[in-house]
Each structure stands twice: as structure tokens, then as C-alpha cells.
Amino acid sequence: MSATHGTNGNGNGTNGNGTNGNGTNGSGTSGNGNGNGKRASLPQVADPVADLAPIEGFPASEKIYVLADDVRVPVRRVHLSGGEAPFDVYDTSGPTGHDLHVGLPKLRKAWIDARIAAGDDGNRTQMHYARQGMITPEMRFIAIREGLDPVTGPEFVRSEVARGRAIIPANINHPESEPMIIGSKFLTKINANIGNSAVSSSIGEEVDKLRWSIKWGADTVMDLSTGDNIHETREWIIRNSPVPIGTVPIYQCLEKVKGKAEDLTIELFLETLIEQAEQGVDYFTIHAGVRLPYIPWTANRTTGIVSRGGSIMAKWCLTHHKENFLYTEFERICEVMKKYDVAFSLGDGLRPGSIADANDRAQLAELETLGELTKIAWKHDIQVMIEGPGHVPMHKIKENVDLQMQLCQEAPFYTLGPLVTDIAPGYDHITSAIGAAMIGWFGTAMLCYVTPKEHLGLPNKKDVKDGVIAYKIAAHAADLAKGHPGAQRRDDALSKARFEFRWQDQFHLSLDPDTAQDFHDETLPAPAAKGAHFCSMCGPKFCSMKITQDVRDYAASHGLTDEAALTAGLAEKAAEFNQVGQALYVDKA
């Protein structure tokens, strides 16, 4: 598989384990950054995806494409019963039926090639093009995907990117990605974290988690691998990902210095950025706001510094008693980012790890620094989003958003939850989804999922699904609260199916059709139950919706309004009650 933009000797080929590394990078960048080198071959490993089964699609659904000029936007079409029109939903699952060894089709390659061929000043960011007044194919793709007006939508996307209020994470070396946007004026997005550790997981498992998370609706995925084969794991993930991929580069840097944070250098960091940017990473979490003066302010915290990246940089600062080199050398980092169109995800290395530490001096000082760094990145036309907490009780959530909007000039906010209480290990996908729904309502653009395994262990496939579904609920609830155009259509379609007892349509319109049907079938498994006008909660006599339907049928048959029918029906039932002697229970024998 070729991970680079441009043509190489065997650009679309694959070898036995799905990697090749001898392609010349045609985008003007290379492993040593001089624009004419060749990538070193990846180590040969046994086929890591040999045992992966295909991911099954959703029932009663098909992937279709909305066509407009040279863009082809995927949606999932849900077919309904009862004469109802099909319902289209946003789809993140990517093309089906491809060979994992080859990777996904390079959807954006022609667009990228054309822009570079038209004249290239070395800055290839979507923000750079937007500020030049250019509406890129990615922007037109996004306008359709977000359901915007076909005439004004592309210009709206361009203007939001130009002002920095939205980002399109789309590395030129990840042409397989389907364009998406992160911004407060658009649908609230969610991120799923995957990645191995020193004690668990393999390349195949992480590729499987990628496919699993995007099936259920993850809009971006972060590879947080800290174990073996970091580079190879990332290569497999990117080549098979239709969604943007983020990383925390300092993790791989730490691996290169064998875990000794004090040995980190800016040169090693820049080398690692180039390595990952060439593979196609779309956004980097960089903890440049962890400044030396702020570290003592964490000493009296309940949980200290809980960010891995934040703790690594804090250790480096204290060991050398110097300012964070990610902060002092930020301009040099910008030079790498703009060549590849890698977006900044400015990391909250001093985020609170408990509600006791929420909104403290260290957290807010770092946030102010992230606002300062945002202005520097924007000077280079580099896209930026801001990472946020963490652990925040409900009454302090809005303050977080308001301060971020003010200090970071409305750059998109990307938060981990937040968890609103610390008492529920094993259920932190719930404690955090509560905070996520609230912070999304207040304007956060992307929510980083939390799984049930948070604080306890590395998540497995079930945990990934549980986390994604919890956060799809939170994101959708936020869109409803924000009044996002079209957000309620799916709710209304499902509610109509529920009222009309179209059970299969209820299942198919839900976020998790399998679980919805499994729960129903636990007590009413017979096929005939799918046509029943009741479920096992109330049974046939006490179903409120069945009673309401009976009232409406009565009204229609007697030429009455619903209100009049209800009055007449109540009078009729009262008469029956009096006729049987006002007995609460009647002997039917």
C-alpha cells in the first residue's frame, strides 16, 4: 500500500502483508523532508488481518451516493414499510468490499493532484484555500453531507473554515478519507480512540476496532498506540480509514527514546511529525500549552496531571528546568503542518482528572495559552481545534465553553466527555455522555468518546461500540438542543413508526438496530409479534398508543374530533361501569 500522495513505482499495489515502502512521494515531501526521498520499507510481519471477518451492514439498509458534479457523497438509505419513503442517514462506514491489504479507494487523489498542478506555494491547508476564496471539492462534498442548501452551502463551509470556526481534517497523504467538518455550526461529531498498549492488542485487533467504530458512527478515530509496531499499526489503520485519523506524536517519540522523557528533543519531535504526516495522519494532538510556570499549580490537585502527553512534557520541563520545547518551537512545528494539511488538536495536558480539580488555575492558564497558539497557527493558515476536559460537574460545564470561545476565538472545541461525577467506574460512558450532551449543546464541536473501560483497562470491541453509541446519543441530543436544521427528522420518523407499531422500522431507524430487536424479542420472539400493537411492557390492554389509536378510530367512524371522541368514549365507559354495579373486578365466568 502506498501511503503517500502522488505516483510511485507500485502506488496501488500491495505485498503479502499489505505494506510497501518503496514509493517516491510525489507531493514534495519525504521521510527526510527534502521532497525527493523514498520511504524506508516497513518491517515484514505476518498477515495481521488474515482472520478478520467482514463487518456486517445494517438491516434493511443500503449505501447509496448523492452525486453532484465531481463529488460522490455516501449516505445509508433505510428502507421502511407501510408505504413510507426511504430514510437517508449520515454514514461514516466507508466503501464496502475492499481488500484490507490494498486499502480504500483514493477518493480525493485527483482533487489534491489538480490543486498542486495548478500552482503550489507549499501551503496545502483547506484554510489556506478558503482564505483565498476557493471552494474546494472537499467543501462541496461536506455541504451535501451536512444537508446544507445546495446553492449557499459550499460558500458557508468555506467561510467557516476561513475564519477558523470549523476545520476539515484532510491530510494530502490520506486521499482515502471522505471529507467531513468539525465546527459548532455543523452536526456535532464524535471521536473514538483505539490503539494498542505495551500489554495488550495487535495490529489486526486495532484494524478491527477501526472498522467497528466507524460502522457505529465514529466521525474520526485516534490511534493512541503505545505498544509494539506503532508505525505499522498506524499504516494499516490509515490505509483502511474513510474517516480522519488523529495521533499524539509524543507517544512515538517516547518509544524512540526508550521511555526516557528527559531525552526528548525538538529535532526528534519534528522527525516524528514528518514520519506520521507522510503516512497521512489528519490531526496531531500537541501539548504545547503545558508551560513550565503552570506545573507547580497542579501540586495540590486531587489527581495531579492525568494527561499522558501532559505528564511527559511536564517531566521534561522539570528535568531540564526549561520551557516546553513544543511551546518555544511552535513556529517550526507549523512549517511541517501546513505542507501536509495536518490540523492542530491543541492538547489539554493540564485538564482536570477529577471534578475536584475542574476549572482550576492550571487548567485555565493552559487554555489561555492555547488561544495564543491558535493565533500563531492561523497566521500560517493552519487549521486548529482545542481540546478540553475531562472531569467537570454539570454546573461548571458552560463556563468551560464560554471561556474557550472567548480565549480561543471560537476555534472548534473538542472535549473528552466531560465526566460529571467520579463515582461510577465501569459506567463512565454514561457519566461522560451526560456531560458530553451538555457541552455539545453549549457549542462544543466534537466529543471524544469514553468507554465503560475508562480508568480500568484497554477497551475491547464491545466497549468501543458501547462508547460510540453513548456518544452518538449525546451528539444527537446536542444537535436537537442547538436547533440544528434537520436534526429532528430521524426522531420524528422513529416516533411515527413507534405509534403505528411498525416494529421493524423502529429497529431499523435506531442507532443500534441489533440491540433494539434483541430486547424486544427477549419476551416476544414470535414473528407475529412484529405486527402486534403492543409490547411486553404494557401488554395488549394497557398500551397507551393502542388506546390513542382506538380513540382516533372511534372519532373517524363517528365523524367526531379526537377530543369529542375522547369525551364520548369516556361517557360510554362510565355507563358500562355503572351497569355492572360499580365493581372494580368483574367475574367473567
In this structure, the answer to whether residues 359 and 224 fall within a common structural domain is yes
Residues 6 or more apart from 319 whose CB is under 8 A from it? 261, 262
Domain annotation covers residue 25: no
**pLDDT for residue 580:** 67
pLDDT tens for 238-295 read 999 999 999 999 999 999 999 999 999 999 999 999 999 999 999 999 999 999 999 9
Same domain, residue pair 341 and 419: yes
Q: What number of other Cβ atoms are within 10 A of residue 15's Cβ?
A: 15
Same domain as 287, residue 141: no
Residue 375, domain member (yes or no): yes
Among 466, 482, 498, residue at a domain's last position: 482
28 located within any domain? no
Same-domain status, 158 and 199 = no
CA distance 28 to 282: 17
**Given this model, what pLDDT does residue 35 score?**
38
Helices (runs of H) and strands (runs of E) counted in the chain: 20, 13
Task: Say whether both 197 and 155 belong to one domain.
Answer: no
Statement to judge: residues 326 and 287 lie in one domain? yes
pLDDT digits (tens, 9 = 90+) for 324-336: 999 999 999 999 9
pLDDT tens, residue order, the chain (589 aa): 434 443 333 333 333 333 333 333 333 333 334 333 344 444 456 899 988 999 999 999 999 999 998 899 999 999 999 999 999 999 999 999 899 999 999 999 999 999 999 988 999 999 999 999 999 999 999 999 999 999 999 999 999 999 999 999 999 999 999 999 999 999 999 999 999 887 777 899 999 999 999 999 999 999 999 888 899 999 999 999 999 999 999 999 999 999 999 999 999 999 999 999 999 999 999 999 999 999 999 999 999 999 999 999 999 999 999 999 999 999 999 999 999 999 999 999 999 999 999 999 999 999 999 999 999 999 999 999 999 999 999 999 999 999 999 999 999 999 999 999 999 999 999 999 999 999 999 999 999 999 999 999 888 899 999 999 999 999 999 999 999 989 999 999 999 999 999 999 999 999 999 999 999 888 877 676 566 565 555 555 555 655 566 666 767 777 767 677 667 767 776 777 777 666 655 565 5
User: Which domain-ending residue is among 120, 145, 162?
Assistant: 162
**In a shared domain, residues 146 and 214:** no
Residue 12 lies in a domain: no
pLDDT, position 457: 87
3-state DSSP helix/strand/coil % of the chain, to nearest 5: 45, 10, 45
Q: Does 564 map to a domain?
A: yes
User: Domain tally for the chain?
Assistant: 3
Q: Look up the domain containing 588 and give its range.
A: 537-589
Separation of alpha carbons 74 and 190, rounded Å:
18
- 437 and 561 in a single domain? The answer is no
Residue 290: inside a domain: yes
Domain CATH code at residue 401: 3.20.20.540
C-alpha to C-alpha distance for 30 and 2, rounded to whole angstroms? 13
> 32 in a domain, yes or no?
no
Look at residue 391 and tell me if it is in a domain: yes
User: Three cell numbers at 269?
Assistant: 519531535
Q: Same structural domain for residues 396 and 273?
A: yes
